[in-house]
A and B are shown apart, each in its own frame.
Chain A
Amino acid sequence: EAQVTQNPRYLITVTGKKLTVTCSQNMNHEYMSWYRQDPGLGLRQIYYSMNVEVTDKGDVPEGYKVSRKEKRNFPLILESPSPNQTSLYFCASSQGRRYEQYFGPGTRLTVT
C-alpha cells in the first residue's frame, strides 16, 4: 500500500530534550516536506526537500532541523524543543514539485 508513515503518532516531552520525528514514504517520491498545523493558522511549511541531500527552509524553520540522506526518509529534528513547538505535525511527499502531495497521519507533539 502506497503511504507516508510517521512515528511517533503522539509524543509528550519536556523543554530542551532533543527529539526526532521520523517520516518514511514507499512511493519513491522525490519531494518531501514537513508542516505544522495550529488552530486558526492552517498548515505552515517548516522544511522541504526536492531530493536526497537537497533541503531548504519553509515558512517556519526556526527551532527545527531536517536531513535527507535517503530518498524514502525525511526526519524532523527538534534539538531543544520549547512549548511553542507544541503542535500537530505532518510529513508529505510527492512525485515532484508539480504534483499533489500525499500526507502522513500526523504526529501530535506536546512540549511542557
Chain B
Amino acid sequence: DQQVKQNSPSLSVQEGRISILNCDYTNSMFDYFLWYKKYPAEGPTFLISISSIKDKNEDGRFTVFLNKSAKHLSLHIVPSQPGDSAVYFCAARVLGNTGKLIFGQGTTLQVKP
C-alpha cells in the first residue's frame, strides 16, 4: 500500500511559467515532508522540506505548501527554468525514532525553453 503518492508521472511546462508538483499521503504519522530532485545517473538531492506543523515553506524559487486536512502537499517552482528538468520525489518522515522516509513514485518535470 503506497502511503505517499505522486499521481502524475510527468509534467511539462514552459520556461518562466509556474511548475506545480503534487503529492498525497494517507498516513497521519509523519512529522516532516521533504522534496528531493534527481537527475539521471545521480542520486537524489534534497530540495526543500516542511514541518507537519507548518503550512508553507519558501526557499528562493521553491515553495512547498502543506494541506493537512486534505493530506496533500505541493511544490511550486516559480519561475521554472530548463535546469529544473528532473525527477522530483516527495518523501514523508515517519514520526518516531527511526528517521525512516517513505517516498512517492516520482514526477518527471520537463521545462521547455
Judge whether B100 and A45 touch: CB under 8 Å: yes
Q: Say whether B43 contacts A45, CB under 8 Å.
A: no
Do A103 and B99 touch (CB < 8 A)? no
**A residues within 8 Å of B by Cβ?**
4, 31, 33, 35, 40-45, 48, 50, 56, 58-59, 90, 92, 94, 96-98, 100-106
Is the pair A58, B89 in contact by a Cβ cutoff of 8 Å?
no
Do A43 and B103 touch across chains, with their CB atoms under 8 A apart? yes
- 10 cross-chain pairs, A with B, having the tightest CB-CB distances, nearest first: A97-B99, A103-B43, A42-B103, A100-B46, A43-B103, A42-B105, A103-B44, A105-B43, A104-B43, A42-B104
The answer for the CA separation of A17 and B89 in the assembled complex, in Å, is 33
Question: Given A40-B105, A42-B106 in contact, is the A48-B99 Cβ separation under 8 Å?
Answer: yes
A96 touches B99 (CB 8 A): yes
Using known A-B contacts A40-B105, A42-B4, A42-B105, determine if residue A102 contacts B41 with beta carbons closer than 8 Å.
no
Closest B residue by C-beta to A38 = B105
Query: Residue among A4, A35, A101, A106 with the most chain B CB within 10 A?
Result: A101
* Interfacial residues, chain B to chain A (CB-CB below 8 A): 2, 4, 6, 32, 34, 36, 41-46, 49, 89, 91, 97-106
How far does the Cβ of B92 sit from chain A's closest Cβ, in whole Å?
Answer: 11
Q: Contacts of A96 on B, CB cut-off 8 Å?
A: 99
Contact A45 B101 (CB under 8 A): yes
Q: Is the CB of A42 within 8 A of B89?
A: yes
